[in-house]
Amino acid sequence: MTEPLRLGVVGLGRAFMLMLPTLAHHPLAQLVAAADPRAEARRQFESDFSRPDAPARSYDSVEALCADEAVEALYIASPHQFHVAHVRLAAAHGKHVLVEKPMALTIADCQAMIEAAGAGGVHLLVGHSHSFDAPYLRAAELIRSGRFGRARMITAANYTDFLYRPRRPEELDTAQGGGVVFSQGAHQVDIVRLLGGGLVSAVRATTGRFDPARPTEGAYQAFLSFADGASATLTYSGYGRYDSDEQLGWIGEMGQPRDPESYGAARRGLAQVSTPEEEAALKNTRTYGVAKSAVAAPPAAAGHNHFGPITICCEQADLRPLTNGVMIYADERRWLEPLQAPTVPRAEVVDEFHAAVRAGIAPLHSGAWGMATLEVCLAILESARTGREVALRHQVAAG
């Protein structure tokens, strides 16, 4: 039961850099192989993860990685548009899968992935999403316990510089999965569904495209109705002005300390480039095999990962997940339900994947769960386009 998952990685880019402290330091994960078209990333992987008795292997194709018998499960962190093909390949070779969010760009592709996993007899999980973060899981547990009555109103608001971080061209094209609804909605919707019980019945939304030089959604606001009468408002802006980490004691999304004096840094960084090619090259300077490798030790954490301030009004108390626990505001008093500081960041992702593969424990973040979150994201885009409320059909309960 404590035997680590022997993992292969598909796509050694930014997402892998962010999961690296987890995958390199969690005792239930062992990185044995990877696939990426970039030779410098493959070289770095072999050098970082080879052990005297077991060299790490790297491949320039996902097919070759899937043929590696030492690999039992894949972390798929290739760009969105490849997720469906890569999951199909993995499932056909009997490899369990953790695929990055968003799961895919259409419901039909999600269904194909779920069917492929079923046919291959493998587990399919979708993540990392910030709904794996311990404070949200703990808040959901507290709600489920019934101690504070039912969750009735959820308010989530996150203000970041997402749109001004360097991007590949398709990340600025909604038709190819670009913009904040696919990339950031996948986190925020996932958290709100977890806290609200999972079953969203309808969505009304607007989206913002405020900068013609970044021609995709940089912001959205959505109203979600749940099947049990609860509701949620979601606000996201990636326009790089107000930064809601200010409300969380300047602890960043990865649980890292932030410097409030770095105001405007993303816009200033982007001002160095003038073409899409230069921008993609700038993104590459932060990627695996080019940027400094983060294998040696997990970065010092100031708290748990988070995705902006969230408040849940329950019938008998208000709850606020924070980076060190969950604040509870009851009638007569308020208190913090503390969480232990993380030793391995995002450890919950490997915990859930390992429990599914080794102990057959049904994961919360299953393919059906990931598809339900994508359905809400697609409904946000549709409602913004049509001005109408969108009814949903593929929702699943939160366990």
Q: Which of residues 154-213 bind ligand NAD (CB under 6 A)?
A: 168, 183
Shortest distance, CB of residue 8 to ligand NAD, whole angstroms?
Answer: 11
Pick from 200, 195, 190, 184: nearest CA to 131: 190
d(CA 294, CA 254): 14
Closest distance of CB 181 from ligand NAD, Å: 12
Per-residue contact flags (x/-) with ligand NAD for residues 89 to 108, judged by CB under 6 A: -----------xx-------
394 binds ligand NAD (CB under 6 A): no
Distance CA 318, CA 189 (A): 20
Nearest to 374 by CA among 90, 161, 126: 126
Q: Are 332 and 82 in contact, with CB atoms under 8 Å apart? A: no
Closest CA to 14 of 168, 177, 244, 185: 168
Residue 302 CA, chain-centre distance (Å), reads: 20
Stretch that binds ligand NAD, among 8-16, 104-112, 210-218, 221-229 (CB under 6 A): 8-16
Q: Exposed/middle/buried for 85, CB within 10 Å: 0-12, 13-18, 19+? A: middle
Contact present, 324 and 304 (Cβ < 8 Å) = yes
Give min distance, CB of 135 to ligand NAD, in A. 16
Residues 245-304 that bind ligand NAD (CB under 6 A): 287
Please calculate the CA angle 338-340-341 and round it to the nearest 5 degrees. 115
Q: Are strands 124-126 and 151-159 parallel, antiparallel or unpaired?
A: unpaired
Among 5, 7, 18, 105, binds ligand NAD (CB under 6 A): 18
Q: How far apart are CA 173 and CA 192, in angstroms?
A: 26
Quick one: which of 69, 253, 64 has its CA closest to 158?
Answer: 253
If the CB atoms of residues 62 and 266 are measured against ligand NAD, the closer one turns out to be: 62
Q: Is 12 in the site for ligand NAD (CB under 6 A)?
A: yes
Smallest gap, in angstroms, from Cβ of residue 316 to ligand NAD? 34
Distance of closest approach, residue 23 Cβ to ligand NAD, in angstroms: 12
Closest separation between CB of residue 73 and ligand NAD, Å? 16
**Minimal distance, residue 374 CB to ligand NAD, in Å:** 12
Nearest Cα residue to 353 out of 138, 205, 132: 132
| C-alpha distances out from residue 286 to 139, 193, 264, 315, Å | 33, 32, 18, 45
The CA distance from 124 to 299, in Å, is 29
Q: For ligand NAD, which is the closer residue by CB, 162 or 239?
A: 162
Per-residue contact flags (x/-) with ligand NAD for residues 56 to 85, judged by CB under 6 A? ------x--------------xxxx-x---
Residue number closest to ligand NAD, CB atom: 13
Nearer to ligand NAD, 80 or 304 (CB): 80
Exactly one of 5, 6, 8, 11 binds ligand NAD (CB under 6 A); that residue is 11
- Asked if residue 13 binds ligand NAD (CB under 6 A), the reply is yes
- Residues in binding contact with ligand NAD, number by CB under 6 A: 24
Please select the residue that binds ligand NAD; options are 128, 306, 320, 354, rule is CB under 6 A. Answer: 128
Residues of this chain that interact with ligand NAD (CB under 6 A) are: 10-15, 18, 35-38, 41, 62, 77-80, 82, 100-101, 128, 168, 183, 287
